[in-house]
Each structure stands twice: as C-alpha cells, then as structure tokens.
Amino acid sequence: MELMPNFLFFIILSIGIGFFVLNIKKLIYNIKLGKDIDRYDNKSERWKNMILLALGQTKMIHRPISGVLHVVVYVGFILINVELLEIVTDGILGTHRVFAPFMGSFYNFLTATFEILAFLVIISVVVFWIRRNMIKIKRFMNPEMKGWPKYDADVILYFEIVLMFLFLSMNATDSLLQDLNTPNYINAGSFPISKYLQPLFNDFSQSNLIILERVFWWLHIIGILIFANYLYYSKHLHILLAFPNTFFANLDSKGRFKNNANVTKEVKLMLDPNADPYAVNSSDSPPEKFGVSDVIDMNWVQLLNAYSCTECGRCTSECPANQTGKKLSPRKIMMDTRDRLTEVGDNYRINNKKFIPDGKELLNDYISPEELWACTSCNACVEACPIGIDPLSIIMDMRQYLVMEQSSAPGDLNNMMGNIENNGAPWPFNNQERLLWANEN
C-alpha cells in the first residue's frame, strides 16, 4: 500500500515520456523525408547563431513589448522546470521536498525565485491573451490564423496559466501544512507569492489540506506531461525546435539563392561541344524533377523550418506583398508546409514507409500560384523571423517547379524570359545596341 503512489507515478511518468519519445520520433522521421543539404559546415558560427537567436532571443527584442514578455515566459518556463527535478525525484522515491535538507537557505531562495517567476509568467500570459483576444493585434488576425491556429495559441496560454496556478496552490497548501507541523511536510521553502493564496485554503482541515496539496501536486505534474505531448500538434513545438532550427539556418548572404546542381549538369553538357548529345537521357535514373511541388521535394532544413515556425507572423507583417493586400503570407507558406508534411508523414507511416498518392499536393491544394507569384524576393520575411526561418527559399523552389515543370509562368514573365533568351536582355532590344547610351547626351 505504501508504495502505490510511487508505482502510479512511475507508470504515469513512463507513459508521458513514452508518448513524447514516440512523437519526437515521428517528427524526426517526417523531417528526414526531406532531401539532403549540407548544414554541418562552419560549426562555430552555427553555435553562435543558436546561442544568440534561440537562447538569447536577440531578434525577439526587435518588437520590445512582445519580446520582453516572451523572455519572461521563456526564462520562467525553463527555471521552473528545474523544480521538476525535485518533483520527479519525490514522485519516484515517495519523498517530499527531497532537496530541501541538502540546500539550507538556498532552497528558500530557489522556491522564492520560482514563485516570483510564476507570477511574472501569469502576468505575461494574461497580456499575451489580451493582445490576441482583445486588442486583436493585426498579425494575429490574418486569414491563416482562423480555426485551429487561433485555438492552439489560446490553449497554450490557458495551459500555462493553469500550470502556474497549480504550482502556486500546491505551495500555498504545502506551507499551510508546514505551519500545522504536519508529519512529512518539512519546514522548507519561502513562498512570497503563494502566501497570498493561503486565505483560500485557511478553512480546510488538515486532512483535507493534505488531499488538496496532493491533488495540486498530481495535477501539476500530469499537466506538464500532457503539455509535453501536446507540443507535437502545436506551434509550441518551437520551444524545442528553435534550437536546431537556428543551428541549421542559412548563414550565407540572403541574396545567394542556391544554384540547382542538376541544371548545372545539363547546362554544362549543352555548352560542351564534345559532349555526347544523348548522354543526358542514357542514364537509367528517371529525370530529376525541378523545383518543389510537394513537401518531399524540399530539403530537410525547409521541413525543419516548417515544424519550428511559431506562427508569430512577424514575417507576414513585414511582407510588402501582404501589406498591400496580396494573398501571399510567408507565415502561411510555413504553416501549409507543416500541415502537408504531417499528412504526408502519416501516409508513409501507415503504408509501410511508402507514399500512396492521396490526390493532393502542397502546390494548388495548399499554396496557390497566385501567392507564389506575388513575392518580390525582398527577404523581409527572412530578416524578420526571430528563429531564422526562410520562407523565401520555399517560394522560389515552388516557382522553379511552376516554370520548369509546368511552363506556367505569368504571360509577362514568359515574354521577359523569351527576351533574355533571344536578345540577352529582359526587354526586346538588340544586344548590339548595348552601348548606344555612350553616344547620347
């Protein structure tokens, strides 16, 4: 009988962690569906990028209000999780505040810090909620934020508030029990915030207080496990993926769009007078597909980008096309990629690691050509993203598919390209007249 709670705790913890690992495996499997790209070069720069952007959140501060609030929630989240160490140890060993006897007054300092952080987190989360639901800040109101994404964002806020209150209520009842010299409730900790919650519990008997304290304790840890498993389905995945995402981000100058190596091969063959004209077709492998029409055509960093996206909309709010009422929204590009990737990943898993066509594609079924053609390739979205996501690379790869596989560029662009092909300039001028300006006044 004595061991029951430990055993139960162990089971619940194992289930929680087990599902979490399963989700992470799914995630890695899906991301690995992407094509190869080398992002292991220049490691020191990459670590630096990760430390600055993910750990230091240096780009979040570009928007001071949300930036500061976000840092509070983030620091609070991480530090309060240190407390988890004790909670898990207590759970497994059946102890209570197991670290307290070893830490002396430092334990008081820690519990006080955690409480203050919890309080700051609650304030920040409330402001976040107000920004989304009452002030209705524009970047949270775009069409792609309807339905699940809006719901998801709110669910996370509610979750955090509930977790913080459970944590504080747990401390409030605990400290009351300590005051009553309850056996097992050793005198430890300092509770500058939760003491204000104590009046709520003053009228309870000691035995009821113990039940309450246990209920809060259990709900808190179970809540955290549920939250961890909710991540896979949520934009909140960024709390984990921001780290690899900033590590593997593009470090090159933003103007360098990668050259398609398959095209280089073909062009070299065409320009080489000694090349065998049939060489291109003689190989057994099917001809390479140019560009991207579905998620499996993308490289794994683009797929990682999609899962990392926080749906914050900083990219979209800086996008000149979006600002002037065009359909294009770089955030939607990332969200669509993620939704489609989850769908395609499930398809692979259900069908024994093979993809059974489902009559859908990222292009057209999720992202329309109209969106793709509205992009000015200005890089504002890339610059704005706090965690180094590159929506532009996806847009450009999809344009490549539209033009090279489907020849479906807008008519004006076809004219322009025809001009380049024939005259070496995007306008119908004779290349021999390139120097005419020198003779004009």
Residue closest to 84 by CA, chosen among 99, 71, 74, 69: 99
Residues whose CB falls within 8 Å of the CB of residue 285, separated by 6 or more in sequence, listed in order: none
Distance (Å, whole) CA 216 – CA 168: 9
Residue 149 contacts ligand SF4 per CB under 6 A: no
Residues 364, 376, 408, 430: which binds ligand SF4 (CB under 6 A)?
A: 376
Site for ligand SF4 in 219-278 (CB under 6 A): none
What's the min distance (Å) between Cβ of 387 and ligand SF4? 6
Q: Residue 314 binds which one of other proteins, ligand SF4, none, with CB within 5 to 8 A depending on kind?
A: ligand SF4
102 vs 437, beta carbon nearer other proteins: 437
In this structure, the number of other CB atoms found within 10 A of the CB of residue 109 comes to: 13
The sign of the CA dihedral 285, 289, 294, 300 is positive
Identify which of 293, 315, 285 has the alpha carbon closest to the alpha carbon of residue 401. 293
Q: Which amino acid is at 9?
A: F
State in angstroms the smallest separation of the CB of 398 from ligand SF4: 12
Among ligand SF4, other proteins, none, residue 387 binds (CB under 5-8 Å by kind):
ligand SF4
313 binds, options ligand SF4, other proteins, none, Cβ within 5 to 8 A by partner type: ligand SF4
Binding at 309: pick from other proteins, ligand SF4, none (beta carbon under 5-8 Å per type): ligand SF4
The long-range contacts involving 347-355, CB below 8 angstroms and separated by at least 24 positions, are 348/29, 348/33, 349/26, 349/29, 355/296
Q: Which is nearer to other proteins, 147 or 255 (CB)?
A: 255
Q: Between helices 64-93 and 148-179, what is the axis angle to 10°? A: 50
Q: Where are the alpha helices (DSSP H) in 180-237?
A: 198-201, 206-230
Among residues 30 and 310, whose Cβ is nearest to ligand SF4?
310
Distances (CA, A) of 149 to 236, 300, 312: 11, 23, 11
The item of other proteins, ligand SF4, none sharing an interface with residue 315, based on CB under 5 to 8 Å by kind, is ligand SF4
Q: How far is the CB of 66 from ligand SF4 (least distance, A)?
A: 11
Q: What is the CA radius of gyration of the chain?
A: 28
x/- binding map, residues 293-332, to ligand SF4, per CB under 6 A? ----------------xxxxxxx--xxxx------x-xx-
User: Which of 163, 363, 392, 394 lies at the binding interface for ligand SF4 (CB under 6 A)?
Assistant: 392
Q: Which of residues 331-350 bind ligand SF4 (CB under 6 A)?
A: 331, 334
**Residue 311 touches which of ligand SF4, other proteins, none (CB < 5 to 8 A by kind)?**
ligand SF4
Provide, rounded to whole angstroms, the least separation between the CB of residue 415 and other proteins. Answer: 8
Shortest distance (Å) from residue 310 CB to other proteins? 19
Q: Which of 129, 170, 176 is nearest to 153 (CA)?
A: 129
Q: Which tokens go with 437?
A: 């300006």
- Compute φ and ψ for 299, nearest 5 degrees: -85, 165
378 binds ligand SF4 (CB under 6 A): yes
- Considering the complex, what minimum distance in angstroms separates the CB of residue 24 from ligand SF4? 20
Q: Which residues bind other proteins (CB under 8 A)?
A: 252-257, 259-260, 263-264, 266-268, 270-271, 290-291, 318, 320-321, 323-328, 370, 373-380, 382-383, 396, 398-404, 409-410, 412-413, 415-417, 420-421, 424-427, 429, 431-440
Question: CA-to-CA distance for 142 and 153, rounded, in angstroms?
Answer: 14
Tokens for 159, please give them.
């979750």
Which amino acid belongs to residue 6? N
Q: Do residues 13 and 225 make contact, with C-beta atoms less than 8 angstroms apart?
A: yes
**Among 152, 51, 174, 169, CA closest to 118:** 169
Q: Give the residue with the Cβ less far from ligand SF4, 81 or 377.
A: 377
Which residues here bind ligand SF4, judged by CB under 6 A? Answer: 309-315, 318-321, 328, 330-331, 334, 375-381, 384-385, 387, 389, 391-392, 395
